[in-house]
Chains A and B, each alone.
Chain A
Protein backbone atom coordinates (compact mmCIF):
# COMPACT_ATOMS: atom_id res chain seq x y z
CA UNK A 1 0.00 0.00 0.00
CA UNK A 2 1.44 3.35 -1.03
CA UNK A 3 2.25 5.79 1.72
CA UNK A 4 2.03 9.55 1.55
CA UNK A 5 3.59 10.77 -1.68
CA UNK A 6 5.29 14.14 -1.98
CA UNK A 7 6.82 15.88 -4.96
CA UNK A 8 9.29 17.13 -5.77
CA UNK A 9 11.74 15.58 -3.29
CA UNK A 10 14.17 18.44 -3.77
CA UNK A 11 13.58 21.96 -5.03
CA UNK A 12 16.15 24.67 -5.56
CA UNK A 13 14.87 28.07 -6.59
CA UNK A 14 15.86 31.70 -6.58
CA UNK A 15 14.43 34.30 -4.26
CA UNK A 16 11.22 35.78 -5.62
CA UNK A 17 10.16 32.71 -7.55
CA UNK A 18 6.94 30.81 -6.94
CA UNK A 19 7.26 27.35 -5.43
CA UNK A 20 4.56 24.68 -5.39
CA UNK A 21 4.84 21.56 -3.28
CA UNK A 22 2.52 18.63 -3.86
CA UNK A 23 1.10 15.89 -1.68
CA UNK A 24 -0.99 12.80 -2.22
CA UNK A 25 -2.33 11.41 1.08
CA UNK A 26 -2.99 7.77 1.83
CA UNK A 27 -6.22 6.63 0.23
CA UNK A 28 -9.10 6.72 2.68
CA UNK A 29 -7.47 9.20 5.05
CA UNK A 30 -9.58 12.27 5.65
CA UNK A 31 -7.10 14.52 7.45
CA UNK A 32 -4.05 16.14 5.92
CA UNK A 33 -1.30 18.18 7.53
CA UNK A 34 1.57 20.33 6.24
CA UNK A 35 4.65 20.74 8.44
CA UNK A 36 7.92 22.60 8.11
CA UNK A 37 11.15 21.41 9.72
CA UNK A 38 14.25 23.52 10.29
CA UNK A 39 17.20 23.22 12.62
CA UNK A 40 16.32 26.48 14.31
CA UNK A 41 12.59 26.02 14.82
CA UNK A 42 12.16 22.25 14.75
CA UNK A 43 8.91 20.79 13.45
CA UNK A 44 6.11 23.30 12.93
CA UNK A 45 2.51 22.60 11.88
CA UNK A 46 1.56 24.97 9.07
CA UNK A 47 -2.01 23.96 8.23
CA UNK A 48 -4.47 21.14 8.81
CA UNK A 49 -7.31 19.99 6.54
CA UNK A 50 -10.20 17.74 7.46
CA UNK A 51 -12.40 16.40 4.65
CA UNK A 52 -10.65 18.84 2.26
CA UNK A 53 -11.58 21.85 4.39
CA UNK A 54 -8.88 23.94 6.12
CA UNK A 55 -9.47 23.67 9.86
CA UNK A 56 -6.46 25.42 11.36
CA UNK A 57 -4.03 27.60 9.39
CA UNK A 58 -2.65 29.51 12.36
CA UNK A 59 0.81 28.12 11.64
CA UNK A 60 1.05 29.58 8.15
CA UNK A 61 3.86 32.10 8.55
CA UNK A 62 2.52 34.87 6.33
CA UNK A 63 0.45 35.68 3.28
CA UNK A 64 3.16 34.43 0.97
CA UNK A 65 2.11 30.93 1.96
CA UNK A 66 -1.12 29.32 0.74
CA UNK A 67 -2.44 25.77 0.74
CA UNK A 68 -5.26 24.08 -1.09
CA UNK A 69 -6.91 20.70 -1.08
CA UNK A 70 -9.18 20.50 -4.13
CA UNK A 71 -10.05 16.85 -3.52
CA UNK A 72 -9.38 14.01 -1.12
CA UNK A 73 -6.32 12.79 -2.98
CA UNK A 74 -4.32 15.95 -3.60
CA UNK A 75 -3.02 19.00 -1.81
CA UNK A 76 -0.62 21.80 -2.65
CA UNK A 77 1.44 24.23 -0.60
CA UNK A 78 2.47 27.34 -2.50
CA UNK A 79 5.00 29.99 -1.60
CA UNK A 80 4.91 33.19 -3.61
CA UNK A 81 7.29 34.94 -3.61
CA UNK A 82 9.85 32.67 -2.01
CA UNK A 83 12.58 33.97 0.31
CA UNK A 84 15.83 32.40 1.58
CA UNK A 85 14.33 32.02 5.07
CA UNK A 86 11.75 29.64 3.59
CA UNK A 87 14.52 27.07 3.07
CA UNK A 88 13.45 23.98 5.03
CA UNK A 89 12.11 20.47 4.69
CA UNK A 90 8.35 20.45 4.17
CA UNK A 91 6.42 17.38 5.21
CA UNK A 92 2.92 16.31 4.38
CA UNK A 93 1.13 13.86 6.66
CA UNK A 94 -2.28 12.21 6.63
CA UNK A 95 -4.44 10.36 9.12
CA UNK A 96 -7.75 8.58 9.36
CA UNK A 97 -8.77 11.32 11.73
CA UNK A 98 -11.74 11.03 13.98
CA UNK A 99 -10.06 11.26 17.35
CA UNK A 100 -6.99 11.43 19.48
CA UNK A 101 -5.92 7.81 19.02
CA UNK A 102 -5.16 8.12 15.32
CA UNK A 103 -1.55 8.47 14.32
CA UNK A 104 -0.29 10.55 11.42
CA UNK A 105 1.60 9.05 8.49
CA UNK A 106 4.33 11.23 7.10
CA UNK A 107 5.63 11.57 3.57
CA UNK A 108 9.36 11.64 2.76
CA UNK A 109 9.41 15.42 2.61
CA UNK A 110 10.45 18.08 0.10
CA UNK A 111 13.76 19.77 0.75
CA UNK A 112 13.43 23.39 -0.40
CA UNK A 113 16.43 25.61 -0.91
CA UNK A 114 15.85 29.25 -1.81
CA UNK A 115 18.97 31.10 -2.93
Chain B
Protein backbone atom coordinates (compact mmCIF):
# COMPACT_ATOMS: atom_id res chain seq x y z
CA UNK B 1 0.00 0.00 0.00
CA UNK B 2 0.89 3.66 0.07
CA UNK B 3 2.59 5.32 3.00
CA UNK B 4 4.39 8.57 3.86
CA UNK B 5 6.95 8.98 6.61
CA UNK B 6 8.03 12.35 7.94
CA UNK B 7 10.60 13.31 10.51
CA UNK B 8 9.06 13.80 13.91
CA UNK B 9 8.94 17.24 15.37
CA UNK B 10 8.96 19.66 16.77
CA UNK B 11 11.72 21.26 14.77
CA UNK B 12 12.91 24.42 16.49
CA UNK B 13 15.01 26.92 14.56
CA UNK B 14 16.17 30.47 14.91
CA UNK B 15 15.04 33.04 12.37
CA UNK B 16 17.09 32.96 9.13
CA UNK B 17 18.24 29.39 9.73
CA UNK B 18 18.14 26.74 6.98
CA UNK B 19 15.23 24.33 7.10
CA UNK B 20 15.00 20.71 5.99
CA UNK B 21 12.03 18.51 6.76
CA UNK B 22 12.52 14.96 5.54
CA UNK B 23 9.79 13.02 3.78
CA UNK B 24 10.01 9.54 2.27
CA UNK B 25 7.26 7.52 0.69
CA UNK B 26 6.27 4.03 -0.34
CA UNK B 27 4.06 3.60 -3.38
CA UNK B 28 3.77 1.59 -6.54
CA UNK B 29 3.72 3.40 -9.83
CA UNK B 30 4.21 7.12 -10.17
CA UNK B 31 2.49 9.15 -7.46
CA UNK B 32 2.19 12.91 -7.29
CA UNK B 33 3.75 14.42 -4.18
CA UNK B 34 2.57 17.37 -2.12
CA UNK B 35 3.53 19.53 0.83
CA UNK B 36 0.71 21.10 2.81
CA UNK B 37 1.05 23.65 5.60
CA UNK B 38 -1.33 24.16 8.51
CA UNK B 39 -1.13 27.42 10.45
CA UNK B 40 -2.61 27.51 13.96
CA UNK B 41 -6.39 27.35 13.93
CA UNK B 42 -6.62 26.92 10.16
CA UNK B 43 -7.13 24.20 7.60
CA UNK B 44 -4.39 22.72 5.46
CA UNK B 45 -3.12 24.78 2.52
CA UNK B 46 -1.20 23.46 -0.44
CA UNK B 47 2.38 24.72 -0.27
CA UNK B 48 3.86 23.03 -3.32
CA UNK B 49 3.61 19.91 -5.44
CA UNK B 50 5.50 17.79 -7.98
CA UNK B 51 3.87 15.35 -10.35
CA UNK B 52 6.79 13.44 -11.82
CA UNK B 53 10.33 12.36 -11.02
CA UNK B 54 12.96 15.12 -10.88
CA UNK B 55 10.30 17.84 -10.80
CA UNK B 56 10.95 20.62 -8.31
CA UNK B 57 8.02 22.26 -6.60
CA UNK B 58 8.53 25.72 -5.14
CA UNK B 59 6.51 28.40 -3.40
CA UNK B 60 7.17 31.20 -0.89
CA UNK B 61 10.86 30.31 -0.72
CA UNK B 62 10.17 26.64 -0.01
CA UNK B 63 11.39 23.94 -2.40
CA UNK B 64 11.13 20.16 -2.71
CA UNK B 65 12.44 17.84 -5.42
CA UNK B 66 10.75 14.58 -6.38
CA UNK B 67 13.50 11.95 -6.07
CA UNK B 68 12.28 8.60 -7.32
CA UNK B 69 15.59 6.84 -6.75
CA UNK B 70 15.46 7.61 -3.04
CA UNK B 71 11.63 7.81 -2.82
CA UNK B 72 11.95 11.18 -1.12
CA UNK B 73 10.45 14.66 -1.27
CA UNK B 74 12.31 16.67 1.33
CA UNK B 75 11.14 20.21 2.07
CA UNK B 76 13.78 22.96 2.24
CA UNK B 77 13.93 26.69 2.81
CA UNK B 78 17.08 28.74 2.90
CA UNK B 79 16.04 31.28 5.54
CA UNK B 80 13.03 30.71 7.77
CA UNK B 81 10.92 33.41 9.34
CA UNK B 82 8.83 33.45 12.50
CA UNK B 83 5.75 33.48 10.26
CA UNK B 84 6.75 30.04 8.90
CA UNK B 85 5.90 28.47 12.26
CA UNK B 86 3.27 25.87 11.43
CA UNK B 87 2.71 22.15 10.93
CA UNK B 88 3.92 20.75 7.61
CA UNK B 89 2.40 17.65 6.02
CA UNK B 90 3.89 15.58 3.21
CA UNK B 91 1.36 13.67 1.10
CA UNK B 92 1.06 11.53 -2.01
CA UNK B 93 -1.68 10.76 -4.49
CA UNK B 94 -1.12 7.50 -6.29
CA UNK B 95 -4.43 6.80 -7.95
CA UNK B 96 -7.80 8.43 -8.15
CA UNK B 97 -8.25 11.31 -5.77
CA UNK B 98 -7.28 10.15 -2.31
CA UNK B 99 -4.28 11.62 -0.53
CA UNK B 100 -2.07 9.64 1.83
CA UNK B 101 -0.64 11.98 4.48
CA UNK B 102 2.40 11.77 6.69
CA UNK B 103 2.04 12.44 10.38
CA UNK B 104 3.00 16.10 10.15
CA UNK B 105 6.05 17.99 11.43
CA UNK B 106 5.66 20.99 13.68
CA UNK B 107 8.10 23.83 12.95
CA UNK B 108 8.78 26.51 15.55
CA UNK B 109 10.86 29.50 14.51
CA UNK B 110 12.19 31.76 17.25
CA UNK B 111 13.13 35.41 16.69
Contacts and interface: CB of A to CB of B under 8 A. Distances in A.
Interface of A: 4, 31, 33, 42-43, 45, 48, 50, 55-56, 91, 93, 95, 97-109
B34 A108 contact: no
Most buried by B among A33, A100, A104: A100
Contacts of A109: 42-43
Contacts of B79: none
A95 B99 CA distance: 11
A93 B89 CA distance: 15
A49 B19 CA distance: 36
Contacts of A56: 98
Given A100-B32, A109-B43, A43 B95 contact: no
Interface residues of B, number: 22
Interface residues of chain B: helix, strand, loop or mixed (majority): loop
Nearest to A109: B43
A100 B34 CA distance: 11
Contacts of A50: 97
Given A31-B97, A108-B42, A100 B31 contact: yes
Contacts of B24: none
Interface of B: 31-32, 34, 36, 42-46, 49, 51, 89, 93-99, 101, 103-104
B49 A103 contact: yes
Contacts of A48: 97-98
Given A42-B104, A43-B89, A104 B99 contact: yes
A88 B97 CA distance: 24
Given A56-B98, A95-B97, A103-B46, 18 more contacts: A43-B89, A43-B104, A50-B97, A91-B43, A97-B97, A99-B96, A99-B97, A100-B32, A100-B51, A100-B96, A101-B32, A101-B51, A103-B49, A104-B97, A106-B36, A106-B43, A106-B44, A109-B42
